[in-house]
Structure 1
Amino acid sequence: MTSPGSVLTPEQWGRDVLLPHRPHATNHLDRGQYRYSRDDALLMRYIEHSPHALLGSIVVDCDHPDAALRAFEQPSDHPMPNWVAQSPSGRAHLGWWLAAPVCRTDSARLQPLRFAHRVERGLCISVSGDFAYGGQLTKNPIHPDWETIYGPSTPYELRDLVTIHTPRQMPRRPDRAAGLGRNVTMFDTARLWAYGQWWEHRHGGVDAWLQLVLQRCHAINTEFADPLPFVEVRATAHSVGKWIWRNFDEVAYRARQAELGRKGGKIGGKIGGRVVSPAKIEANRQRRIKIDRALALEVLR
């Protein structure tokens, strides 16, 4: 146990904050990353702070020479990070340690991951961080190449990391996704696609089904500016595929389709078999009016 107000130590970071048993690590980012034993990985300059299945810390890349000032000293509404590992140029990785790790591979529990994504984006905005940072490898705060400033020795609950910059919702287009947004976008895009595909492939067996979902997740991953590691893509695909295979049958599928049809009939209409919202119907109507007016003016001329 740590006393209130105590400061994180290098020993505590290596023992408690670092989650993977065999982290990916490297001394040079351009030469690739490999798995090492925990002790060997702690000797490398860059290290994987959380395993692919669990998010144990939120790390933000602050690509400014005054990163430590932005993290600790300047007036801001964000909580103090647990550590800041900075290079000689002053640029740094800022880390907030989570009391309860967030699962990144369970399609049945997307809400905590979505919340973590919003929290990550809010912290990034607060310190003017790099939105393109992938988040897998971080500057190893124990390595002597970095000057590390340690903050509180106690982890944060996710709700304690909410700031005025935390967005209420995030864009889900793959080409706009970064950091945790890639996991959320892959889950949402893959599962919505898979719901409709299950009916056509329900007689092909679970292995063929999982392979199909994996191919779809891989296609989504190629749309990210910084793709996820294959192990995360595979874990997401299996989570989505197994959940649907386990929970769907013909009765459940027909009930879902009937519910979608009922909602579509109440809130809008259908065009070409697609449910269209009232707002889109009105926008189409206004567009037709503009076209008709333009055509009438052309005829009068």
Structure 2
Amino acid sequence: ELPKKLSKKQEVSGLGRNCTMFDTVRKWAYKAIRAHRGGIYTTWLDEVVKHCLSVNEAFLEALPYSEIKATAKSIATYCWKKDAYCYQEFIDRQSRKGKLGGLKGGKIRSDNYASKRVKALAMMKEGMTQKQIATELMVTDRTIRNWIKNDV
């Protein structure tokens, strides 16, 4: 499974080992991510760590595990985010969480401010400034600007 140029123990020192590992594993990962579509990120990360460990065995002087893990995490995260399918799964999951709401965020949080938004628009029609409205409703000026921009 190792590339031919890493099939025997190599003498690579300094940053060379890190760069060699990174380049070798990233090229593998660009294709390997496809097998993990619809899966879980931690499973993917474990697979990348395993591959990094196998590449590390080809070095005469092995890299410490902390560097292997950091390199694997960098590659795994990049590929996971850049893979269109995995990224869309993440976006869909976040969207579902937002719509369901919870203690904070999403539609529930937005609905909590609905009455204040109505008051803000009414105050605006009465001629109050955005600053006065923000102070009265105990929200920021930026919030008032967003409400007006979105409701007008």
Using structure 2 for the length normalisation, give the TM-score: 0.49
The structure in which a higher percent of residues are strand is 1
**TM-score normalised by structure 1 residue count:** 0.25
Asked which structure has the greater CA Rg, the reply is 2
